[in-house]
Amino acid sequence: MKIPFLGKLRLHWCTNCHVPLIRNHCSSCGSSGQKVQVTPPGDIRPAFKGDVTRISSLIEKQYGDISGQIFQKMIENQILLLNKVPYIDRMDEIYFLGKVIGLLRFNPIKNDFEVVPRLALAKKLWHKDANSWVEVDKGAKDPIKKGASVLTPGLLEVHGKISLNDPIIIVCQQEVIAVGLAKMTDETMLNAPKGVAIKTKYRKELVSFESVPSSSWKNIVEANSQSLNSLEDEAISFIENTAKKYENVVVAYSGGKDSLATLNLVAQSDVPYEIIFADTGLEYPETIENVKLISKAYQRKILIDENETWDFWDRFEHFGPPTRNSRWCCKSAKLAPVNAILEKNFPDDKHVLTFLGKRRYESIGRSQEPRVSQNPWIPKQISASPINNWTAFEVYLYIKAKNLMELLNPLYLQEFVRIGCWVCPASSLADFSIMKKTHPNLLKQLTDKLSKIKSNRDYPTQYISWGLWRWKLLPSKILNLLNRENVTYKIKDSSSDTNSQLQFYITRSPSPCALGGYSSYLSANQMLNLELIDKLLPILGNSEFNENLDILSVSNSDRVHTDVFRDGSIIVRENSIDTLTVSAIDYAKTVFRITYCDGCGVCTFNCEEDALKVDEGKVRVDHTKCTQCKQCNSFCPLLRYRSDASYFFQEK
């Protein structure tokens, strides 16, 4: 699949001032910059101290102390940029002087980062006492320069300990001619009579390391001052024009760089505003402290909802870890608190304008979203994105120019690219690897839970080490990795575990009913709490609970009766055989929903009839208001990411 650009790429390089430009104009010297070729999706960002330290230490580890010292001297008083590119995990292109000089990537097999230098950097780093390089026969020089692999008969010397897929510098007659990836270990290379020892990757020199003047953030800000002013003016104009239609305005602050830039833009406008923060209960400690800092800096009390009924780890026990295909946690952890905040603080408003730090360069989904939209999960919220068309580099440049670095979440300086819930399945293995150093106690909470699942289902070690738990449906790149490494892994859906959660057997095929119409029998794998179920079942019809017989009966508008028994049996009846299966699924969903309801309240805010309320941590329906539209099932986070088939075992 071809990776698309998610927006216009506006990165240029001023050859006079030796700084990156966000537009084709340098405010310092007045010249036009050269366009920088960027790999899609194209969200360039600066390399901070943590990133630079990582790259330097890896070069030293891979190629030796002298190579590490050479690199540190080379980048002294210079700014490196990083560009996230497609890979099995995190991988960034490293930009120096406007050109790519290598890759920084996290290797899942090695469970560590590594640097893959391009030819120009390899030439700079190489010396005779370096590690991870090979010398080839002069007869192999020209074929390798044209792209041929390094074959064992052409090897003269192998230097250093080499493992499979290590980045290797290829040398011939004291000249670095290419960089490749090892397809053999050093021992195999020396002993194999034939075969591919190194797959050639880079053989073209794209950058020259001539002496250049020192660069700094001050120089970069000055060179981009006019372009930044244009960006800022457009965003503030958008904020003020959009806000004219609304009585109340809030800024959704998340603790991330994008929401910081958005908040500061709104603060510079003429628009009165409040700040809200959705505390998911899974925030990094640094984020919580950052929110307090923001409150003090902008002299505003931040509106927060303390969601005491929602317990992530309790739901984790029922459903297993959230996955990229099924983020059951997002709706309850993020949207429910926002619903509560807006309802509590703006009860009389139909809509509240909310400025968000969403950017099109973050994902394909966000690149297709309009700049202003209504959130389908939060009825009161009209979302607007002032920095929708900004790249990450432009955001950081704005933060630097406005002296906001002291307000930036410090996690960005520790190599984190994204900041949100620390347990998020959208995180890369690189993120979790960084957490081993920065937040070991938090990471242990997750790995302890995952270890139990791994043991109970007899999963391979890669379930944790490769983060296989992050997918319900494995992407092709992960499947290819499993096949290549001969790892057997078959996902066992938690819904197939009869001891873990509620499910139903369809015990009899649809048949004519003595009372008229047709009937089908469902059988749950556990006893049912009829008193609890009675709180929600009226969304399907008028309910009547017979305590003596332990039967909960429901009749719909067509006067068709369905009976729910405490032992788990449900007799579903319908006038038409065509609607019987749909009704059976509706009953299974509704019983499942109330059984595991944690009172997040998302459904209550989306009920147009105001028929749903949260009572003692569970949702309850007011049958006098309910129109039995059943739309609230569509807004339940428990049901949102489940297929109809997941509520049932195979037919008997």
Domains, the chain, with CATH or none: 1-118 (no CATH), 224-414 (3.40.50.620), 429-492 (no CATH), 504-647 (3.30.310.10)
Report how far residue 111's alpha carbon sits from residue 134's, in angstroms, rounded to the nearest whole number.
Answer: 25
Within 8 A by CB and 6+ apart from 210, the residues are none
- Contact between residue 120 and residue 101 where contact means Cβ atoms under 8 Å apart: yes
* Sign of the CA dihedral with 421 first, then 259, 406, and 14 last: positive
- pLDDT tens for 397-422 read 999 999 999 999 999 999 999 898 99
- Extract the tokens encoding 92: 């960034």
- Extract the tokens encoding 496: 């197939």
- Extract the tokens encoding 381: 């919220």
Beta bridge partners of 114: 105
Residue 82 has pLDDT above 70, yes or no: yes
In the chain, what is the greatest distance between 2 CA atoms, to the nearest angstrom?
94
- pLDDT tens for 455-514 read 999 999 999 999 999 998 888 899 999 999 999 998 875 544 444 578 888 766 666 665
Helix axes 312-319, 440-456, angle to 10 degrees: 20
Model confidence pTM above 0.95: no
Predicted local confidence at residue 182, as pLDDT: 97
- pLDDT tens for 206-256 read 777 777 778 899 999 999 999 999 999 999 999 999 999 999 999 999 999
- pLDDT tens for 264-298 read 999 999 999 999 999 888 999 999 999 999 999 99
Q: DSSP readout, 53-94?
A: HHHHHHHHHHH-HHHHHHHHHHTTT---EEEE--SSS-EEEE
- Extract the tokens encoding 404: 């906001």
How confident is the model over 128-146, as a mean pLDDT? 95
Q: What are phi and psi of 329, to 5 degrees?
A: -80, -30
**Average per-residue pLDDT for the chain:** 89
Report how far residue 112's alpha carbon sits from residue 604's, in angstroms, rounded to the nearest whole number.
Answer: 45
> Three-state secondary structure along 347-407?
CCCCCEEEECCCCHHHCHHHHCCCCEEECCCCCCEEEECCCCCCCHHHHHHHHHHCCCHHH
Q: What are phi and psi of 476, to 5 degrees?
A: -60, -35
User: What is the rounded radius of gyration, in angstroms, for the C-alpha atoms of the chain?
Assistant: 30
Beta bridge partners of 181: 167, 199
CA separation, residue 5 to residues 202, 341, 549 (Å): 24, 36, 64
Predicted local confidence at residue 501, as pLDDT: 73
Report how far residue 113's alpha carbon sits from residue 55's, in angstroms, rounded to the nearest whole number.
Answer: 9
Higher pLDDT: 512 or 303? It is 303
Predicted local confidence at residue 643, as pLDDT: 67
- Contact between residue 410 and residue 381 where contact means Cβ atoms under 8 Å apart: no
SS3 485: coil
SS3 436: helix
* Sign of the CA dihedral with 348 first, then 278, 262, and 356 last: negative
Asked whether the bond before 510 is cis by omega within 30 degrees of 0, the reply is: no
- pLDDT tens for 248-262 read 999 999 999 999 999
638-641 contacts at long range (C-beta below 8 A, 24 or more positions apart):
638/328, 638/592, 638/593, 638/596, 638/597, 639/589, 639/592, 639/593, 640/328, 640/331, 641/325, 641/326, 641/327, 641/328
- Contact between residue 154 and residue 139 where contact means Cβ atoms under 8 Å apart: yes
Report how far residue 195's alpha carbon sits from residue 191's, in angstroms, rounded to the nearest whole number.
Answer: 11
- Extract the tokens encoding 463: 């379930």
Predicted local confidence at residue 498, as pLDDT: 42
Predicted local confidence at residue 45, as pLDDT: 94
Report how far residue 198's alpha carbon sits from residue 204's, in angstroms, rounded to the nearest whole number.
Answer: 17
Residue from 397, 555, 579, 466 nearest 27 by CA:
397
Predicted local confidence at residue 339, as pLDDT: 87
Residue 39 has pLDDT above 70, yes or no: yes
